[in-house]
Structure 1
């Protein structure tokens, strides 16, 4: 068996899922386009792209990724499982291999540029159309697709004309729900934003929501928008605290101390809102994407069509009606055990 993932970063939701897949299929050979500095997994075999300067620019390397996947190795395998959010589902290793593809999302910058600003440049319109054609044509050999959410299942049907089963990704709900007593006793007196500090994650809006609500906010994560976010934080009247790359233990503390997780972004699934709910922390987010599957509106969080600071901040008064026990129970639906059972059932059915 071969296990295939896109480029492999130090952090990220898709990397967490791939690690869990490798746990479930420990005998599989593991391939990636390249791995970023700091990645500890020595068992990941990199493609020839890793030996070129292109590894430093995903955008520039994008057109060559399908070629890299078709020239990955001369080895032959019976079963290939790809973990795809760009072109990994186009990998072809041997003419007889049965290919199963777990899809985090069809490449957003190709198919959904409105959700991901990296593909919105008008100059990219023609290259995007060409790569869309390549994406479909080179993936016809995939025998079975699994989508990480109903949202992604719909996109696979719309863009690729293929059916997919839904296998929600694994979340460490047991870890986040079983916090020490000191973490549980926090006063929940601040708002929280967690994730990569990149434009479409809208951390600027999170800070503005906190200001409109008159509440402190903690911004946890890291990314290229840090300088811009710190400048914005200097201009608002509420305290803004930055937690750069917090440890897992620290992140759990932050979830348990928060009044609510703010999540004003259209995500394909969204592991972070589930982690927050495992800590009994409600989610305030937009009424689209993966939140429709992970948040029960009015019970474990509040969903809104608004994208303005006032629209979000006005929802905070409804949080007192939510029950922490109900919130934590909802998160358990997305546990690692649930993923293991559903993923294994998909593989067994697909390889017959």
Structure 2
């Protein structure tokens, strides 16, 4: 495919699941330019996406003046993304959107814009705004209503939308009245080998923020003093949850990736209480043969097989979670089968599917424009 392809992302700050998608996209298309609201990513992480950073031009908005405080200006995001000017000679625009990247404007009508939705976009202005803004949500609601209208309009910009799960696909249709294709994101399973010998502890991994609902997990294990829990990660709720925890609960704080893997592979179970649009961590756990206990809502329903590779609990409450832990311990999991389920989400599968999708849409566009 001889086409000039550019990348648009919401922002570049930390390297996580969404950034792994960018790494795969760059390995396929070799981007020479990237448009973003702001780039505050460390050079070592940027190189994971773009190995030769000298060969790519990253264009930012005026938000770059705010540095690491850019999130405080979230009300400006939908407007600022439209200030980025795509070059006229670009043929294909690929936007990676969990907020406003989808709203980028084409330079001309002949350009093809395909947006990969990493999650439900701008979750903090939709169903989860009370969780994010808590007591100030009532004061912000008039602004949120305006942002919702702008967000719906922005979602009409892409020619095609790819959702990262069926859960997000349904949300995209319900919220934006847009159809979308589902292509599951890549998971680097080479880092997570099968480990049969499990130890007698549970593990919970992730950013310790309100939407991850670590509070439910802490409450549950505080009522189960004979069961050990290891909480791996850092975040705004870490200090608060430490105060509530009983001696059977240990917090590691920020932990290097190789050490996180050691914890996950040895754990008897991986506990997950939040709502994920896809959720890479439960797949990484399964890749180690570690079964999952998860809140049965969102993307996890597509990645965990109930009673075979994990157990779901039906309500986000410590009481219901405790019952699921008790049920979990009665199941004799086959760790080999648990890993096999994770293999469905490999990097190779993602790169083949998204490459074929984009090439097909571009060929069809050329055919329609030039009559074959």
Query: Taking structure 2 as the reference length, what is the TM-score of the superposition?
Result: 0.86
**In the alignment, structure 1 residue 109 sits paired with structure 2 residue 113:** no
Q: Deviations over 1:228-258 (max 9, x none)?
A: 122223xx141x2222332222121111111
The residue aligned with 2:368 is none
Runs ≥4 residues deviating over 6 A: none
Per the alignment, in what secondary structure is the counterpart of residue 307 of structure 1? coil
Q: Is the 8 A contact 2:8 2:101 kept in 1?
A: yes
Q: Which residue pairs with 1:100 in the alignment?
A: 114
Q: Deviations over 1:148-198 (max 9, x none)?
A: 0000000110111110000111111232126xxxxx365421111111111
Aligned residues between the structures = 343
Question: Which of 120, 135, 139 lines up with 1:123 in the alignment?
Answer: 139
1:297 aligns with 2:306: yes
Task: Quote the Cα distance in structure 1 between the aligned partners of 2:244 and 2:307.
Answer: 31
Counterpart position of 1:215: 227
Instruction: Give the superposition deviation at 1:116.
Output: 4.5
- Which stretch of structure 1 is more off in the superposition, 326-335 or 6-15? 6-15
Q: 1:118 to 1:39 in 2, by over 3 A?
A: farther
Structure 1: runs of 5+ lacking an equivalent: 179-183
Cα deviation, residue 330, structure 1: 0.4
Q: Does 1:273 align with 2:287?
A: no
Alpha-carbon distance in structure 1 between the residues aligned to 2:227 and 2:185: 32
Distance in structure 1 (CA, Å) of the matches to 2:269 and 2:336:
15
- 1:156 equivalent to 2:172? Answer yes
For the 8 Å contact 1:49–1:55, the answer to whether it is kept is no
Q: Give, in whole Å, the separation in 2 of the partners of 1:230 and 1:248.
A: 22
Closer/same/farther in 2, CA of residues 37 and 100 from structure 1, 3 Å limit:
closer
CA distance, structure 2, for counterparts of residue 283 and residue 269 of structure 1: 14
> What secondary structure is seen at the aligned counterpart in 2 of 1:51?
helix
- Tell me the distance in 1 between the aligned counterparts of 2:130 and 2:351: 29
Contact conserved, 2:8 with 2:35, CA < 8 A, in 1? yes
Is residue 2:23 matched to residue 1:19?
Answer: yes
Equivalent pair of 1:63/1:131 in contact (CA under 8 Å): yes
**Corresponding residue for residue 369 of structure 2:** none
The answer for unaligned runs of 5 or more in structure 2 is 47-52, 365-372
Which residue of 168, 175, 178 corresponds with 2:184? 168
Does 2:91 match 1:78?
Answer: yes
CA displacement at 1:285 relative to structure 2: 0.9
Residue deviations 1:73-95 (CA, integer Å, cap 9, x gap): 35221110000011100011412
Partners of 2:102 and 2:157 within 8 A in 1: no
Deviation of the 1:267 alpha carbon: 1.0
Is 1:334 the counterpart of 2:369 in the alignment? no
Name the SS for the 2:192 alignment partner: helix
Q: 1:74–1:325: structure 2 CA closer, same or farther, 3 Å change rule?
A: closer
Partner SS for 1:196: coil
1:176-325 to structure 2, matched below 5 A, reads 176-177=192-193, 184=195, 186-213=197-224, 214-233=226-245, 236-238=246-248, 240-319=249-328, 320-325=331-336
Separation (CA, whole Å) in 2 of partners of 1:242 and 1:305: 26
Given that 1:8 and 1:34 are in contact with CA atoms closer than 8 Å, whether structure 2 keeps it comes out as: yes
User: CA, structure 1 residues 132+280, in 2 after alignment: closer, same or farther (shift >3 Å)?
Assistant: same
Q: Distance in 2 between matches of 1:169 and 1:245?
A: 25
Shift in Å, 1:208 = 2.0
Q: What is the CA–CA distance in structure 1 between the aligned matches of 2:294 and 2:129, rounded to whole Å?
A: 18
User: What is the CA–CA distance in structure 2 between the aligned matches of 1:223 and 1:121, rounded to whole Å?
Assistant: 21
